[in-house]
Structure formats: C-alpha cells, structure tokens
Amino acid sequence: MRKRTQHTDWTNGLATGALLLFCMLLSGTLSAQSDHTITVRMLDSKTGQPITTSEVEVRMRVPLTSDQTKGIPPVYVRPDKYGVGVATLPITASDIRVYASYGAANWSYINCDSVQDRGTTREHWYSISEILTRGSAAPNLCNKRKITVKPGEFVFFVRPMTFREKMHE
C-alpha cells in the first residue's frame, strides 16, 4: 500500500477549492439568468393577422407577499415582421398587463379584453407562471375569433380606435 504524502493532500485541497469556486460562480450565473422570457403577439381582432405597426407595453406587478416596494418599470416590446415580440421579465414579477402602444405609424388600438369595461379603471392581469407553463390568450371581446397558444406565449387581440375614440383622447 502506498503512503500518502503532504503533496497529495495539498493537491486534493486545491482541487476541492477550485471545484467549490466553480460551483459558486455557476450558481451566480444561473441566478442572473433566472428572468422570465415570454413571447407576445398582438393580433387584429377581426382578421387574426399580426399587428406589427405598434409597440406592446408590458406592465408587471409583484406578489403582495414580496418585499419589493417600488414598482417595476414597464417593458416595451417591438414585434418583428411576423408580429412576434420577446419580453424579458424580472423573476420578482408575478403578473402582467399588456396593451398596444403608439407605433411608428402613430396608429392607436384598443385592447379587446377590456372593450366592455370602457370608462372604468378595471385592469386585466395575467399570470406569468400560467403563461410559461400553458400559454395564455386574452379574451377577444371585439369578435368571436380565438387562437391556440403554446407554453411561454401570450396573445392578445386589439382593434383600431374609432374616430370618435381618437377625438376623446
């Protein structure tokens, strides 16, 4: 049987220390990458075609049990030519509220999940965990058109503002 030397003990200690340092660095990297990423699609309520001329504003909220007291600033998503945008949301966010924002063409839209709520301050929030696990589509109260979604995808329907609605803005 071979006798252990001090050199072998020192080498084993160095290897163990290096392994611990690597694990700590890896865990720090993984926690920094723990933000949620979802795809967002904004569709015309009548045709089901993607709207690519307007940005999507994604507002977030944190759970009531969170110790985060300041609000989370909104994320603005610019859809690609296929109408798909990607939003990266902080891990602390629990729900989102999504609506059309003014785009390059300066068109404006009304969300179809709140058409019946005109004149009220009711907010429609959607669970991020549900979006990530099953996908989620906001109700289309402007039309009967529906769509299937994939996990990690949020779809909402909009319609153009009427002339009268634009005059009241």
- 107-125 per-position pLDDT tens digit: 578 888 876 555 555 678 9
Is the pLDDT score of 104 beyond 50?
no
DSSP string for 119-167: TS-----EEHHHHHHT-EE---TTSS------TTEEEEEEEEPPHHHHH
Of the segments 21-25, 71-75, 132-136, which one has the largest average pLDDT value?
A: 132-136
Q: Are 79 and 41 in contact (CB under 8 A)?
A: yes
* Pairing of the two strands 136-137 and 153-160: parallel
Is the pLDDT score of 32 beyond 50?
no
- 36-91 per-position pLDDT tens digit: 899 999 999 999 999 887 788 999 988 766 555 566 888 999 999 888 999 999 99
In the prediction, which pLDDT does 9 show?
Answer: 56
| Assigned CATH topology for domain 35-168 | Immunoglobulin-like (2.60.40)
Q: Are 58 and 79 in contact (CB under 8 A)?
A: no
Percentage of the chain exceeding pLDDT 90: 34
- DSSP letter for 9, please: H
In the prediction, which pLDDT does 148 show?
Answer: 93
Q: Name the residue among 117, 70, 123 with its Cα closest to residue 95.
A: 123
Q: Are 107 and 160 in contact (CB under 8 A)?
A: yes
Provide the residue ranges of all domains of the chain, joining segments of one domain with +: 1-33, 35-168
Whether pTM > 0.75 for this model: the answer is no
